[in-house]
C-alpha cells in the first residue's frame, strides 16, 4: 500500500465512496474506510441500491416488517434506502462536524422517473430531506433541462444538493447558474447560506467510452492517437469553467454572505477500457476543492499504485481544447455524444429503479406472513 490516498486528500481532493449497502454499514466497513482510507463522503444511486438489496439477506428483517405492514413497494424502497443513508450519515457525522459541513455527506437520489418533471422533483427532494432528517445529506437531482429550475428551487429552500449526470460543458455552466440563482433566492428569504452546500457531479469515464467507440469506427492513426483523451479534456475544461464562475462579481456578492462554492465532483471514475491505467481518472484529475467519488475497486487501485504528483488540471486547458478539437476534426460530434450520454444516464437509472421495484416486490411477497 502507498500513501497515495493521503497525498490525494492533501491536494484538496475529497475522497468519497461510490457505494453503500446495509452490510457495509453494519460490518463496520464504512467506518474502517473513513478511518484508514481517507474516505469523507458517500454517493448512492438507484443501481447501487438495486445491487445491495438483491444480494444477501441484510435487508430481510426490515423487509419482513414492511411486508407485515402491507406497505406499497415504493414506500418499502424509500424506507430501506433512507434508513441506509441515515445510518451512513450518522457514521460520517464526525467528518461533517470537523469540516464545517463541507464533507461527511451522503447523497440520495430523487426517483429517476421524475427527471423531466420539475415540480415532482422539487416535491420529492423536500420529502427525501424530511425522511432522512440529517444535516449531512445531499439530495441528488439530475442535470436535465427540467432539473435545472428544480435545483434553483431546492437550494432556495435551504436543502443541499448533489447535481448528477452532467456530461457537457454547456450544461455544467447552466448547473452553476442554477446553483447561484438558488443561493440568491435563499439569501432573499433570509436563510443562512453557510449551511447550504452543493457538488456538481461531472461524469468522466463514459465520455471516453462513447467517443473512443466512435474513433474506432473512424479508424486510422489520427483516430487511434486521439483515444483516451476526451474525458480528461472535458473534465479539465469543466474545472476551468468552475474557476471562472466562482471568481465572478456575482459570486463575490454571495461569498460575502458566507455562501459555499459548489465543488466539482468527478463521477464515473472507474476505468472501463483495460488499455488505460486503472487510476487514470484519479491521478490525472487532481485539483483543489474537488471531490472524486470512487467505486471500491478504484479506491483500492489508487491506494495500491496511484501516482499523485500534485495538481494535474491547472495549466492544461489549452491542451484540453486541442484534444476536443481533434475529435471534432475527425468527425465525432461532441454535442451529439454528451446529449446521448445524458439521455442514456437517465434511462439507465430509470431501468435500475424499475429493477429495484421488481426485486423488492418479489422480496416482500416472499417474506409476507401467511394469512390466518
Which residues are catalytically annotated? 140
Per DSSP, the three-state class of 16 is strand
- CA–CA dist 157, 165 (Å, integer): 22
Closest CA to 233 of 210, 268, 214, 207: 207
* Residue 231 C-alpha from the chain's centroid: 16
- Residue 310 contacts by C-beta under 8 Å, 6 or more apart in sequence? 11, 286
Give me the numbers of helices (H) and strands (E) for the chain, helices first please.
17, 8
Percent helix / strand / coil, the chain, rounded to 5: 60, 10, 30
Return d(Cα 104, Cα 116) in angstroms, integer: 30
| DSSP E strands, 255-295 | 263-267, 290-294
Assess contact for 86 and 134: CB atoms under 8 A.
Answer: yes
Phi, psi of 199 (to 5 degrees): -125, 155
CB-CB contact of 108 with 44 (8 Å) = yes
As given in the structure block, the three cell numbers for residue 342 are 445524458
What are 273's three cell numbers?
A: 477500457
Distance CA(23)–CA(296), nearest Å, equals 14
Structural contact between residues 175 and 166, judged by C-beta atoms closer than 8 angstroms: yes
Largest CA distance in the chain: 73
First-last CA distance in the chain:
58
Contact criterion met (CB below 8 Å) for 7 and 37: no
Amino acid at each position: 500500500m502507498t500513501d497515495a490516498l493521503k497525498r490525494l486528500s492533501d491536494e484538496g481532493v475529497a475522497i468519497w465512496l461510490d457505494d453503500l449497502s446495509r452490510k457495509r454499514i453494519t460490518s463496520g466497513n464504512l467506518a474502517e474506510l473513513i478511518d484508514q482510507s481517507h474516505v469523507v463522503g458517500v454517493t448512492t444511486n438507484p443501481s447501487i441500491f438495486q445491487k445491495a438489496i438483491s444480494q444477501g439477506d441484510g435487508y430481510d428483517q426490515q423487509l419482513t416488517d414492511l411486508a407485515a405492514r402491507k406497505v406499497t413497494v415504493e414506500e418499502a424502497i424509500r424506507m430501506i434506502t433512507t434508513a441506509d443513508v441515515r445510518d451512513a450519515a450518522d457514521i460520517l457525522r464526525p467528518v461533517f462536524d470537523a469540516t464545517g459541513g463541507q464533507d461527511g455527506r451522503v447523497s440520495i437520489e430523487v426517483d429517476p422517473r421524475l427527471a423531466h418533471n420539475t415540480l415532482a422533483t422539487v416535491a420529492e427532494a423536500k420529502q427525501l430531506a424530511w425522511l432522512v432528517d440529517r444535516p449531512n445529506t445531499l439530495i441528488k437531482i439530475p442535470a436535465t433541462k427540467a432539473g435545472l429550475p428544480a435545483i434553483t428551487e431546492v437550494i432556495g429552500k435551504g436543502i443541499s444538493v448533489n447535481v448528477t449526470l452532467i456530461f457537457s460543458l454547456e450544461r455544467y455552466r447552466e448547473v452553476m447558474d442554477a446553483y447561484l440563482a438558488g443561493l440568491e433566492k435563499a439569501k432573499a428569504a433570509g436563510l443562512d447560506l453557510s449551511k447550504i452546500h452543493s457538488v456538481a457531479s461531472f461524469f468522466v469515464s463514459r465520455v471516453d467510452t462513447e467517443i473512443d467507440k466512435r474513433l474506432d469506427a473512424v479508424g486510422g492513426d489520427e483516430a487511434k492517437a486521439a483515444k483516451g483523451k476526451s474525458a480528461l479534456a472535458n473534465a479539465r475544461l469543466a474545472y476551468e469553467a468552475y474557476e471562472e464562475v466562482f471568481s465572478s462579481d456575482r459570486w463575490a456578492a454571495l461569498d460575502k454572505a458566507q455562501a459555499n462554492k459548489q465543488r466539482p465532483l468527478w463521477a464515473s471514475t472507474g476505468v472501463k477500457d483495460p488499455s488505460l491505467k486503472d487510476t487514470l481518472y484519479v491521478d490525472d484529475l487532481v485539483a483543489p476543492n474537488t471531490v472524486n467519488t470512487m467505486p471500491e475497486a478504484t479506491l483500492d487501485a489508487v491506494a495500491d499504485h496511484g501516482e499523485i504528483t500534485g495538481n494535474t488540471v491547472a495549466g492544461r486547458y489549452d491542451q484540453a481544447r486541442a484534444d476536443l478539437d481533434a475529435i471534432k476534426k475527425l468527425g465525432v460530434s461532441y454535442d451529439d455524444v454528451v446529449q446521448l450520454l445524458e439521455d442514456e444516464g437517465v434511462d439507465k437509472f430509470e431501468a435500475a429503479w424499475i429493477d429495484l421495484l421488481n426485486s423488492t416486490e418479489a422480496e416482500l411477497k416472499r417474506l409476507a406472513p401467511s394469512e390466518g
